[in-house]
Amino acid sequence: MTGAARAGAGPDRPARAQVAVRREPVDFDLILAGGGLAGRSLAYFLSRHPGVGEARILLIDDSRHYQHRSIVYWYDGVLPLRLTPSASYTTLAVDTGAGLRTTSLHRHTLSVTSSQRIFECLDGVIDADPRITRLDARTARIDAQQDRVSVVLADGRSFTAGHCCDSTAPPSRVAPPLVMTGEIRHVRTTRASFDPSVATFMDFRPGDGEQPDRFHCLLPVSSREALLETGRITPGGAPALARPSDAAAAEYLRRACGVADFSTLTVQRGVIPLGLRRPSSKGRHLYVGAASGIVKATTGYGFTRILHQAERIASSFAAGGSPRSPEASRRFRYYDKPVLGLWLHDPDAAVRFMRAAFASVDADLVLDFLDERTTPLQERTLLGSMPVGMLLRPRFWR
């Protein structure tokens, strides 16, 4: 669901639930608490960086609660990971309010794959590196001191290191202002129904009885099979889905594709918090991945953002022995705040704003903007063609 990738949880477990431990010293140079996408990506880039030397790295990987998911992402140029996607697209059908408009991507590629494929790609490098010890365990507590950091596991074992990169959970117990809830449904039709070269991206056109905050993405993997994402953006304390999503999926396939007869192969469900404040790191304890607020606040996409963050942290550790996360852009936090307020207080206006983004300029510029890779001049071009006046109400800035 997860530039960017948006994640939706699914029911599968990894083929390998236990990993043999090569060695178990008590002291390390770096501990990676959490072996999901962020922890694995960081271990992968550390392993491949020539400047890491003989650093001892501990990856604490709790595999008991894995739920593999489909990952939707886009990239410009070469992805920093040798990954074969399930499907890729350079043509998008986007919702402009007056219907779907087909637009071409000239620099980006939109792709979909599974977290299981991503993990297999990362694990092949991680497990071949003798400097990395992997423990299948759960982190219970992290205590940062002035010169060391201690990590205590749920079974009572304790390890120390010069630094700890933590992706286990967002540190704040405060509910996020918004959540994105939904599912990704893998469907198969009885006849050719989809164009495998075109992805429908964030279609907000409502069906009968649907709320304005619901959207659909259709990602064909063949002429008869597709991944259909049904999502909803709501306040943090709101119910997940007011209407059964299986009924919403069936209505969308009938209305948008003329499909009445289909079967559901798998269903993945998930919840993504939006708008969590980026926490400050405490000395030698550094938050990474979703726990660091790297997921894009207004869309829920995070896959390529997590990869690029991991690359930068690995480079900083290799250069000076101290992991450092890239600074968040104040300019883009400024852009995100009123859009989050729009979703919170006026979902109808938020939908109009999102539609205007893809209706006004080329899609590549929009994706660059969502990746926070545009210049102020490009942002002036983009925002100048959008109804930014609706963002100026004071309540959207609180």
Q: pLDDT, tens digit, for every residue of 190-204?
A: 999 999 999 999 898
Are 157 and 187 within one domain?
no
Mean pLDDT computed over 100-124: 93
Identify whether the C-beta of residue 218 lies closer than 8 Å to the C-beta of residue 256. yes
pLDDT number for residue 237: 66
Are 9 and 129 within one domain?
yes
- C-alpha distances in Å from residue 188, one per residue of 219, 229, 270: 12, 14, 21
pLDDT band at 14 (very low <50, low <70, confident <90, very high): very low
- Tell me, yes or no, whether 89 lies in a domain: no
Are 349 and 361 within one domain?
yes
Are 19 and 121 within one domain?
yes
pLDDT number for residue 312: 95
pLDDT number for residue 365: 92
Helix (H) / strand (E) element for 165: namely strand 158-166
Mean pLDDT computed over 68-83: 88
Q: Is the pLDDT of residue 19 over 80?
A: no
Q: Is the pLDDT of residue 348 over 50?
A: yes
DSSP H helices, 203-281, are 245-257
Are 286 and 239 within one domain?
no
Instruction: Please report, for the domain that includes residue 29, its CATH number.
Output: 3.50.50.60
Structure confidence by residue, pLDDT tens digits, 284-310: 999 999 888 888 877 778 899 999 999
- Tell me, yes or no, whether 294 lies in a domain: yes
How many CA atoms are closer than 13 Å to the CA of 180, on its beta-carbon side?
26
- Tell me, yes or no, whether 316 lies in a domain: yes
Are 162 and 243 within one domain?
no
Are 34 and 146 within one domain?
yes
Its domain, for residue 316, covers 4-68+115-172+276-320
Which has more pLDDT, 243 or 250?
A: 250
Opening angle at CA 2, ends 295 and 395, nearest 5: 50
State how beta strands 108-114 and 27-33 pair. unpaired
Report the domain count for the chain. 3
- Tell me, yes or no, whether 104 lies in a domain: no
Neighbours of 102 (CB within 10 A): 11
Q: Which region among 171-175, 217-221, 347-351 has the lowest average model confidence (pLDDT)? A: 171-175
pTM for the model stands at 0.86
Q: How far apart are CA 286 and CA 149, in angstroms?
A: 11
Are 383 and 253 within one domain?
no
Are 46 and 139 within one domain?
yes
Instruction: Please report, for the domain that includes residue 213, its CATH number.
Output: 3.30.70
Mean predicted lDDT score pLDDT of the chain = 85
pLDDT band at 344 (very low <50, low <70, confident <90, very high): confident
Q: Which two tokens stand for residue 63?
A: 């595999």
Are 341 and 303 within one domain?
no
Are 237 and 144 within one domain?
no
- Tell me, yes or no, whether 325 lies in a domain: no
pLDDT band at 78 (very low <50, low <70, confident <90, very high): confident
pLDDT band at 253 (very low <50, low <70, confident <90, very high): very high
Q: Is the pLDDT of residue 13 over 50?
A: no
- Tell me, yes or no, whether 353 lies in a domain: yes
